[in-house]
Structures are given as C-alpha cells and as structure tokens.
C-alpha cells in the first residue's frame, strides 16, 4: 500500500483532518503543531484527539506528521529566538502525547553567523532538553536546501546532531525531495547513489518519512521553492522511482506542493497510478 497524504489545516480539528484525508484518498497527513509563524498553540480537545485515533485505527492510517513552526530556530544567535524554540518544542512534544506513536518534524535551524559547529551544538542542547525517556513521538530532522546559513544541508550535519543527542533513539530524518535536490543530492539521475550515501552516513533505519515536492529550481541551487509533482526540475519519472524504491516504498509520503485540497487529491491519485503493487 502507498502511504500517502498531504499538509492539512488543523483549524477544523483533528478528526476533521482525518476525514478530509480520507475524502482525498489519503491514509495519513501532516499538520502544523501551532501557527507556522510562531505564537501560542491552540488547545487540544481530548475527545477530538481520541476520535481521530479511532478513525485512524479503523482506516489503517500510516503515522501522522506534525510540523514545527517555520520561525523555530534552535541554532539562532538571538537568545530570545532560541528560547522560543525551546519552549515551543517542549510544549509541542508534550501535546503530541495526546496522539501517541506519531512523528514531529522540524527544520534544524540557521546559525546566522555563529558558524556550523556552534549552530549544531545549540541544536543538540535544545534536543537534550526537550526529549524525554517515555515519549512516544519520533522527532525528525528535515533535510534542508542550504540557503544562507541553514543547517541540515548535508547528511553529515544531520549525523552530527543525532550523534550528539543523548536520547537519539527518539530521532529520525525526514527527506524533502525538493530540499535535497536543491542542496546538491542528485535524486533525478542517481537516486540509488544518494540513498547509499545516506545509509553510509546516517543509516536508512533513521529515515522515517519523505516530503514529496517537485522543485522550481535547478540542481544545487540552494533556494527551496516547491513545485507541483511533475511540473518542476525533478519530473514525474523521479517521483515514480521514489515511491517504488525498495528502501522507500514502505515509508509515509507527505505532499507539500503549492496546492489546495482538490489539487492534493489529484496528485494523490496520480501517485497511486504510478505505484507498483508487488
């Protein structure tokens, strides 16, 4: 089975997202843990969360993916921004326990002139503070395009963060197809080679999710601009290879393309038509 979903709005509640996912042919979805530009998180209705859990069990959902706000930057040179990252991640991970066994994705951050080593150290410090022993959520580091001083542009940087974190059994990686192509990993012409490199550096057992996004940019542009599936520089054939690759086909895939719900429904149907049932 192709485990496929897209980013959905949490404004209507948790069960509503599950119902929307089913209506567009999805069996998972991604949502923001709080306002993507920061701020306080919306209170969770425990009954709403339970209703979603029931719906997921009844319909064989793959794990959900909560996405941290874009403003979250644990590597910042600004102490206030780092404090927000710490508070937001800590609160989000506590709240995620109302939806046990799912995943939480975040952009590792940008060191903003502090240097890669210091930025990675600050990210590790935050993770060592917010992760806790009995949490059921897997926290995912997202691969980044490498614009500016972004951390996460290379597999080696992700590996350093994972190795430096005490409870790193709680950590995994989310590959974003647009980001790694823009970062210089040629998944169009050498998908096998990129995955072998990831396995050598990080380990495929750490790979827990894939963001499916085409790219508006040329290879190694370091710009990060998503495009609809098959309409960018990656092309439709690349996505056919990705969803059918033996190392990837069992993972959950999440669309973050520039679409509304109807557009996501069309993309999900397209990808399902390309999926090869063994």
Q: Where are the alpha helices (DSSP H) in the chain?
A: 14-23, 46-58, 79-96, 116-130, 155-164, 177-183, 191-201, 236-244, 261-274
Is residue 33 within 8 Å of 67, Cβ to Cβ? yes
> Which are the catalytic amino acids?
37, 67, 70, 107, 142, 176, 179, 211, 224, 226, 256
Tell me the β-bridge partners of 212: 255
* DSSP label of 163: H
Closest C-alpha among 165, 35, 55, 162 to residue 99: 55
* CA pseudo-torsion sign 176, 178, 179, 183: positive
Using the CB atoms, write b or e for 195-227: b if 16+ within 10 Å: beebeeebeeebbbbbbbbbbbbebebbebbbb
């Amino acid at each position: 089975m192709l485990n496929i979903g897209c980013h959905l709005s949490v404004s209507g509640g948790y069960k509503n997202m599950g119902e929307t996912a089913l209506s567009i042919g999805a069996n998972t979805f991604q949502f923001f843990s709080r306002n993507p530009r920061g701020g306080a998180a919306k209170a969770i209705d425990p009954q709403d969360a339970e209703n979603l859990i029931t719906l997921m069990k009844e319909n064989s959902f793959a794990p959900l993916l909560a996405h941290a706000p874009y403003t979250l930057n644990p590597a910042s040179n600004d102490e206030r921004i780092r404090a927000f990252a710490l508070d937001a991640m800590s609160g989000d991970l506590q709240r995620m326990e109302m939806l046990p066994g799912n995943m939480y994705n975040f952009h590792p951050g940008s060191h903003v002139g502090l240097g890669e080593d210091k930025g990675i150290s600050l990210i590790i410090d935050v993770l060592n503070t917010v992760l806790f022993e009995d949490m059921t959520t897997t926290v995912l580091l997202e691969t980044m395009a490498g614009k500016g001083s972004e951390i996460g542009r290379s597999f080696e940087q992700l590996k350093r963060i994972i190795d430096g974190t005490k409870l790193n059994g709680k950590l995994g990686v989310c590959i974003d197809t647009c980001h790694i192509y823009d970062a210089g990993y040629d998944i169009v012409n050498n998908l096998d080679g990129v995955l072998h490199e990831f396995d050598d550096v990080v380990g495929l057992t750490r790979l827990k999710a894939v963001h499916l996004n085409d790219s508006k940019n040329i290879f190694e542009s370091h710009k990060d601009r998503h495009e609809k599936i098959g309409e960018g520089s990656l092309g439709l054939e690349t996505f056919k290879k990705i969803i059918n690759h033996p190392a990837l086909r069992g993972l959950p895939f999440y669309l973050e393309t520039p679409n509304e719900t109807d557009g996501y429904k069309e993309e999900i149907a397209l990808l399902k038509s390309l999926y090869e049932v063994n």
